[in-house]
Amino acid sequence: MLFSSASAFVEELSDSFMEMKAADDIWLIKFYAPWCRLCKQLDPVWHQIGSELKSLGSPVNVGKSDATINTGLAKEFRVRNYPAILMLKKDVKYNYSGPRTKEGILDFVDRVEGPLVRSLSSLQLFQHAMIQHNVLFVYVGATSSLKGNYTTAAEELIIHTYFFSAARDILPKAVSLPSLPAVVVFKDGTFFTYSEEQDGDLKLWINRERFPNYSKIDSYTLYAMGESGKLVVLVLVEEKNLCEQSLRYKGLLEKVAAGQRETLSRNFYFGFMEGNDYINGLVMGEVILPLLLVVNLSNDGYFLPTSTLKTERHLLDFLNGVLDGSIHVSLIRCRGLQQQLDLTMKSYLDCFQCHGGNGLIQRIRRLFYNVKVTLTPVFSQAPLLGCFLVGFPLTFVAIFCYLCCKARPMLINEDDTEEGIALLAPSLQHRKSPTDKKSD
């Protein structure tokens, strides 16, 4: 059986799905587990998505599958976490890693369902695209090897951003291009042209530039920013009723992001995040808002200033120090402050020290922290359940260790017995000889 009806808009898929589906079918699939809390929260959103796509006449079919039952299908799609959201188009699988919201998922569907590279055939279409998208990648020119590389990049990165192409006369006259063909990114009220000599691999450049330079950031976006290789300068603020310090930090960060784009954008993204839940897990503690920090998602590290950043110069010194501490140490030496050198260098190194990381010790600490955060509300709301969850595995481990220790001396005694029999064998043989003779 291919599927059983889950609702009028969402189909429940079984393990036979891949064998029974049509070759040209396009599917949006959610893999879930019955015990998963996030899966249950997503369920009403999923049915809204199915209803909306159906009402729009979309060719995309919406399905869901219990990965704990349909293990073959889950293995086919390499499902590791729940809920997992994927699209299947012409036997190509696309994983969705954005926010679990109706808007975010529908935007993902629109990108993958349509053509890899969308043509902008008029100035009006170009202007409409500029309004719809914060970041716009456009290939300009005729067919070339650069266009081939652009299309190849789109095949992998379409899950993250849109790709467009246009003739030169479609773009506004203010857009000046040194040569054609060219790949241009429009964002932050301006545009930048890709240069292989300066920017390296085209796909890596697109992955680096697919976010605005300064924006509101959620946990999904922050994680994706880490894949670009850039550091993220982040201000954590309250979700409502921002205090004066939060407003000042936000303004300072936005001003530096805009004014120093040419010098900092290659290494940093800038933004603000409401709340501190995600960063609490990163630093393994409760951070106090507001807070300004630099996050390195490639190794789960972070940098904290040791003093309040009051001016643009303070913030720039902090960011420059994160990138290269040796610059400031050289300046200290040149100023001749030898009597304060040790103290200044110590505070400087503390200021630009990378905390956290993904080393073995940090991973163990983070594991214990996550267990603590998970079990604390369980103990507060259901103490007996909490004791069972902690006590049962500890009891199992204790019994296992006891059995191992008990079995070890038994093995030694058996070995000793065998050795004793071997030593006694000659004497037994000697005693047996007269009997044998008598019997003969």
Number of domains in the chain: 3
Q: What percent of the chain has pLDDT over 70?
A: 76
Question: 63 by DSSP, 3-state: which?
Answer: strand
Residue 143 sits in which domain range?
118-209
Closest CA to 29 of 102, 113, 96: 96
Domain assignment present for 187: yes
Q: How far is residue 283's CA from residue 274's CA, in Å, rounded to a whole number?
A: 16
Look up the CATH number of the domain holding residue 149.
3.40.30.10
pTM of the model: 0.72
Q: Do 148 and 203 belong to one domain?
A: yes
Q: Do 222 and 202 belong to one domain?
A: no
Q: Do 86 and 129 belong to one domain?
A: no
Q: Do 222 and 343 belong to one domain?
A: yes
The residue that leads in pLDDT, 180 or 406, is 180
Q: How far is CA 159 from the centre of its chain?
A: 14
What pLDDT is recorded for position 286?
A: 83
Q: Do 261 and 148 belong to one domain?
A: no
Q: What is the DSSP string of 402-419?
A: HHHHHHHHHHHHHHHHHH
Catalytic option among 39, 354, 404, 405: 39
Residue type, 65: S
Q: How far is residue 142's CA from residue 100's CA, in Å, rounded to a whole number?
A: 38
Q: Do 205 and 272 belong to one domain?
A: no
401 is catalytic: no
Least confident of 106-115, 155-164, 389-398: 389-398
Domain assignment present for 403: no
What pLDDT is recorded for position 378?
A: 55
pLDDT at 341 over 70: no
Domain assignment present for 92: yes
Residue 174: both structure tokens together? 């203010």
Domain assignment present for 421: no
Q: What is the DSSP string of 353-398?
A: PPEE-SSHHHHHHHHHHHHHHHHHHHHHH-HHHHHHHHHHHHHHHH
What pLDDT is recorded for position 405?
A: 76
Q: Do 137 and 91 belong to one domain?
A: no
Q: Do 328 and 230 belong to one domain?
A: yes
Whether 184 and 195 have beta carbons less than 8 Å apart is answered as no
Confidence grade of residue 257 (pLDDT, cut at 50, 70, 90): very high
Whether 236 and 289 have beta carbons less than 8 Å apart is answered as yes
On average, the pLDDT of the chain sits at 81
Name the helix (H) or strand (E) containing 255: helix 244-259
Q: Write the DSSP symbol of residue 77.
A: T
334 is catalytic: no
pLDDT at 186 over 70: yes
What is the mean pLDDT of the segment spanning 242-248?
93
Q: Do 340 and 227 belong to one domain?
A: yes
For the chain, the maximum distance between any two Cα atoms, rounded to a whole number of angstroms, is 123
Closest CA to 286 of 294, 278, 298: 278
Domain assignment present for 428: no
- Report pLDDT digits (tens) over 403-437: 777 765 554 444 444 444 444 444 444 444 444 44
Q: Write the DSSP symbol of residue 70.
A: -
Domain assignment present for 177: yes
What is the mean pLDDT of the segment spanning 347-376?
62
Domain assignment present for 420: no
pLDDT at 102 over 50: yes
Q: Do 123 and 91 belong to one domain?
A: no
